[in-house]
């Protein structure tokens, strides 16, 4: 039975009957009563028993674990990374091409949105798991391919692949990675390992890499197609960036502020690569000497015939090219402008995403849509998923964690992103990835 409780509204309370009001008695006026001060507001000398619970002093933490735990955002991990890494390798990670306009716009794109939450939904349990390219992933984010990773921090690809394995997400080894395909597979034997391929002018070398990747258990080949020539990465030019880093007067002085980095670099195995044994020179010279500027869609056909696993094309920047690579056999695309490191003022993947999703839907295509560039929080990932991405990839965010604390720093990166995603989805009123729709996000200034 429903009970209706009537509120006591003093404005509508009936006045007392005139017969119930006592007659006024003549006499002196009575001053208004002064309200007593509440006991809680009276000043007193504090008791020790009151102070004791407040005097919980903690010892300052200077360990790596304490340092990483204090980081609550990827930006804070970046700050730690910058303090602990020499300028040249840090700038190689942090920088982009020319005026770095593309990178700035990519990050701003995620800021220029409005989330549109639903209320009164059951979000007591948040499920962040998804499926990508036919297999499950515990989180809707994987680690993107990054070159020269052990130069950023000596644990390099080993830290990344092992952290990805522990988190239940894919890890992508770059052709220019500083650990071999076989060693990464051995370091994370139960992980889902992908291999990123740059097609070289020497097709036999490319074929050798493909065969090694398959033999090592990589189930996905990700071919990058936006590096016909090297972008103008001006920070690297100014820093005199070489592979491996050269010991100049400047780097020696820089080392005095980052002794741990140099100690690790000099006391571990010299940099070796996934695809070549040794190289000495600039990054741009390496790209321009090895990568093939004559690539066409026919080369993609050759890859499709050669590789029997999942094939993904990375570096898609137009709707037309997204459609064409799928027509040529790609199982998925990565909307990417190479982190802003190639063509400055390039299209922003997050802005391109709704158009590609609409085109694939119109084509009845089940090709996977992945996205990278500009992701610095779990909220960024949720926004991308809502607008149509099936999956996301992080490069710089993972490297900031690596430089901040090796394997533990990569773990911290993934913990921060997971917590961000779960909180954002709960506040949106969404309990699982499939519940995210374009209605949850509105693009501003578009």
Nearest partner of 130 among 413, 360, 385, judged by Cα: 385
Check 328, 338, 351, 440 and give the catalytic one.
338
Instruction: Give the torsion through C-alpha atoms of 289, 291, 292, 295, to 10 deg.
Output: -160
Helix (H) or strand (E) holding 57: none
Alpha carbon distances (Å) from 134 to 27, 159, 213, 331: 94, 25, 18, 10
Answer yes or no: 338 catalytic. yes
Long-range pairs, 177-180, Cβ under 8 A, ≥24:
177/145, 177/146, 177/147, 177/148, 177/149, 177/273, 177/274, 178/147, 178/148, 178/149, 178/150, 178/151, 178/271, 178/272, 178/273, 178/274, 179/149, 179/150, 179/272, 179/274, 180/272, 180/273, 180/274
Question: Taking the CB of residue 56, how many other CB atoms lie within 10 A of it?
Answer: 6
In 219-347, beta strands by DSSP E: 220-224, 310-316, 332-335
Give catalytic residue positions.
Answer: 338
């Amino acid at each position: 039975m429903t009970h209706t409780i009537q509120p006591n509204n003093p404005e509508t309370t009936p006045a007392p009957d005139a017969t119930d009001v006592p007659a006024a008695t003549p006499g002196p006026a009575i001053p208004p009563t002064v309200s007593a001060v509440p006991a809680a507001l009276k000043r007193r000398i504090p008791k020790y028993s009151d102070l004791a619970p407040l005097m919980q002093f903690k010892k300052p933490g200077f360990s790596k674990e304490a340092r990483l735990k204090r980081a609550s955002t990827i930006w804070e991990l970046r700050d730690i990374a910058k303090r602990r890494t020499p300028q040249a390798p840090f700038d190689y990670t942090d920088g982009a091409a020319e005026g770095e306009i593309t990178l700035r716009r990519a990050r701003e794109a995620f800021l220029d949105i409005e989330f549109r939450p639903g209320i009164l939904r059951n979000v007591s349990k948040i499920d962040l798991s998804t499926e990508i390219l036919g297999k499950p992933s515990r989180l809707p984010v994987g680690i993107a391919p990054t070159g020269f990773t052990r130069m950023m921090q000596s644990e390099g690809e080993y830290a990344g692949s092992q952290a990805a394995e522990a988190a239940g997400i894919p890890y992508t080894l770059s052709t220019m990675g500083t650990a071999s395909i076989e060693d990464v597979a051995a370091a994370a034997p139960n992980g889902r390992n992908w291999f990123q391929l740059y097609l070289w002018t020497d097709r036999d070398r490319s074929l050798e890499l493909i065969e090694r990747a398959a033999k090592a258990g990589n189930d996905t080949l990700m071919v990058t197609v936006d590096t016909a020539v090297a972008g103008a990465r001006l920070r690297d030019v100014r820093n005199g960036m070489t592979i491996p880093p050269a010991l100049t007067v400047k780097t020696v002085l820089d080392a005095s502020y980052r002794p741990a980095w140099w100690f690790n670099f000099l006391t571990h195995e010299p940099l070796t690569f996934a695809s070549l044994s040794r190289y000495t020179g600039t990054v741009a010279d390496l790209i321009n000497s090895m990568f093939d500027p004559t690539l066409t869609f026919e080369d993609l056909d050759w890859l499709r015939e050669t590789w029997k696993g999942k094939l993904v094309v990375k570096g898609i920047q137009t709707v037309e090219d997204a459609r064409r690579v799928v027509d040529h056999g790609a199982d998925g695309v990565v909307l990417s402008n190479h982190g802003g490191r190639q063509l400055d003022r390039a299209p922003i993947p997050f802005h391109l995403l709704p158009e590609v999703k609409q085109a694939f839907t119109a084509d009845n295509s089940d090709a996977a849509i992945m996205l990278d560039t500009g992701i610095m929080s779990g909220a960024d990932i949720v926004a991308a998923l809502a607008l149509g991405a099936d999956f996301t990839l992080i490069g710089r965010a993972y490297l900031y964690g690596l430089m901040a604390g090796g394997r533990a720093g990569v773990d911290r990166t993934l913990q921060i992103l997971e917590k961000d995603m779960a909180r954002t989805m709960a506040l949106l009123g969404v309990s699982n990835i499939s519940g995210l729709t374009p209605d949850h996000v509105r693009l501003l200034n578009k």
